[in-house]
């Protein structure tokens, strides 16, 4: 009598990531007609096994596509291929910065669990991935870095959280067990060592509880460390720190207002001005009277007095700096408000 098959085997990593994708809002299907595509209606189609490289896995493919969704934002779930319309934005640079942002986010998120070898991409951008090292978010002047920072912050919120983080943690547990056996004997195929041999231990968290960092620095030189009651305190962790501790994932060196401008642009939408503030008489062209209050005039998503931030003039400057209102004078570099502003424009984790 023929045996009745009542269940099917699914690779454990595939099970984890198919389930994670479902919780995030995506149904995963396999196809021979595409490598990776989304339809904007909740379906993520990935190539079948015959289309994938030997170092691909379905879990890695799903994770990579979720990192693309993190870069493009929640609205991208309703747009085919995450809204990356190469017909409208088809330059090589436009594709590169998106892919680079995705891989930077993937590097940070996988690195939190020792999974960079297991979840390395196998696309044409593998060379970029292989060149990553240290703090891959250090250069805030790089468009892909700013986009990656925004992506990593999105990972902490729905629809990605908590499913994405839980899937990474589950993958790390599976990988750690598989690695124990992968190192016990020679691989079955001596020409291609198993990926499990690349599993790294999950890094211990920073003493503050934040993720460990890759920057070759300490808390002593971090922009978010401040003097506090004879010691040091971190604005990121809201906790006391030892300046000798190795820097965490959110480390930033000394801040530069003219390379940032966050507080004067999209981070805040209004700067109220007291009627008796000297700027009202000194710079009337920049004052808007709203009846109940006065505010600095806006030009799009920025203060009208903010100059720079362009290819021709990359550094920011204030046209009325000497006459700026008290609200602006009271805004201090490295303060809690400064951190909020930088987070809102994607310059800080």
φ, ψ of residue 30 to 5 degrees: the values are -105, 145
Query: Do 109 and 247 lie in a common domain?
Result: no
Q: Is the pLDDT of residue 93 over 80?
A: no
Over residues 266-305, the pLDDT tens digits come to 899 899 999 999 999 999 999 999 999 999 999 999 999 9
* Single pTM value for the model: 0.90
| 84 belongs to a structural domain | yes
Asked whether residue 28 falls in the same domain as residue 156, the answer is: yes
**What mean pLDDT is reported for the chain?**
92
Question: Which residues span the domain enclosing 222?
Answer: 204-254
Integer CA distances (angstroms), 162 to 157, 167, 348, in order: 7, 9, 21
Tell me how many domains the chain contains.
3
Helices (H), the chain: 12-24, 58-72, 92-111, 126-130, 143-154, 163-182, 279-282, 326-329, 336-344
Instruction: Mark whether 216 and 93 lie in a shared domain.
Output: no
* Closest of 54, 61, 60 to residue 194, by C-alpha: 54
> Does residue 124 lie within any of the structural domains?
yes
- Asked if residue 94 and residue 27 are part of one domain, the reply reads yes
- 149 and 75 housed in the same domain: yes
Domain annotation covers residue 1 = no
Q: How far is CA 261 from CA 143, 318, 333, in A?
A: 15, 9, 11
In a domain, 19, yes or no: yes
Per residue in 108-127, pLDDT (tens digit) is 999 999 999 999 998 788 99
How many other CB atoms are found less than 10 A from the CB of residue 185? 7
Domain identity same for 241 and 261: no
Contacts of 176 (CB under 8 A, 6+ apart): 114, 199, 201, 202
In this prediction, residue 122 carries a pLDDT of 81
In the DSSP assignment, the letter for residue 339 is: H
Is the confidence at residue 129, as pLDDT, over 90? yes
CB < 8 Å & 24+ apart, contacts of 331-335? 331/263, 333/255, 333/257, 334/223, 334/224, 334/226, 334/235, 334/255, 335/235
Residue 346 belongs to a domain: no
């Amino acid at each position: 009598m023929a045996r009745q098959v009542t269940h099917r085997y699914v690779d454990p990593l595939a099970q984890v990531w198919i389930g994670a994708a479902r919780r995030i809002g995506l149904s995963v299907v396999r196809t021979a007609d595409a490598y990776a595509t989304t339809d904007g209606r909740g379906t993520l189609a990935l190539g079948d096994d015959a289309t994938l490289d030997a170092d691909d896995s379905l879990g890695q493919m799903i994770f990579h596509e979720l990192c693309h969704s993190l870069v493009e934002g929640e609205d991208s779930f309703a747009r085919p291929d995450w809204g990356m319309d190469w017909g409208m934005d088809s330059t090589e640079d436009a594709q590169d910065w998106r892919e680079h942002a995705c891989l930077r986010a993937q590097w940070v998120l996988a690195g939190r669990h020792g999974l960079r070898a297991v979840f390395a991409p196998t696309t044409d951008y593998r060379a970029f991935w292989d060149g990553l090292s240290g703090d891959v978010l250090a250069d805030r002047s790089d468009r892909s870095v700013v986009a990656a920072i925004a992506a990593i912050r999105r990972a902490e919120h729905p629809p990605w959280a908590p499913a994405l983080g839980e899937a990474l943690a589950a993958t790390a547990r599976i990988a750690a067990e598989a690695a124990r056996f992968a190192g016990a004997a020679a691989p079955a195929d001596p020409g291609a060592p198993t990926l499990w041999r690349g599993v790294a231990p999950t890094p211990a968290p920073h003493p503050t509880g934040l993720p460990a960092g890759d920057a070759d620095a300490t808390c002593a030189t971090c922009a978010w460390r401040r003097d506090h009651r004879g010691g040091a305190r971190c604005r990121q962790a809201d906790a006391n720190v030892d300046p000798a501790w190795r820097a965490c994932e959110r480390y930033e060196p000394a801040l530069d207002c003219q390379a940032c401008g966050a507080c004067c642009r999209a981070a805040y939408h209004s700067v109220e001005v007291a009627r008796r503030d000297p700027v009202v008489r000194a710079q009337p062209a920049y004052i808007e009277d709203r009846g109940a209050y006065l505010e600095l005039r806006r030009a799009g998503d920025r203060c009208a007095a903010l100059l720079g931030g362009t290819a021709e003039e990359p550094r920011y400057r204030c046209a009325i700096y000497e006459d700026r209102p008290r609200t602006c004078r009271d805004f201090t570099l490295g303060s809690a408000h400064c951190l909020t502003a930088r987070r809102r424009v994607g310059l800080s984790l």
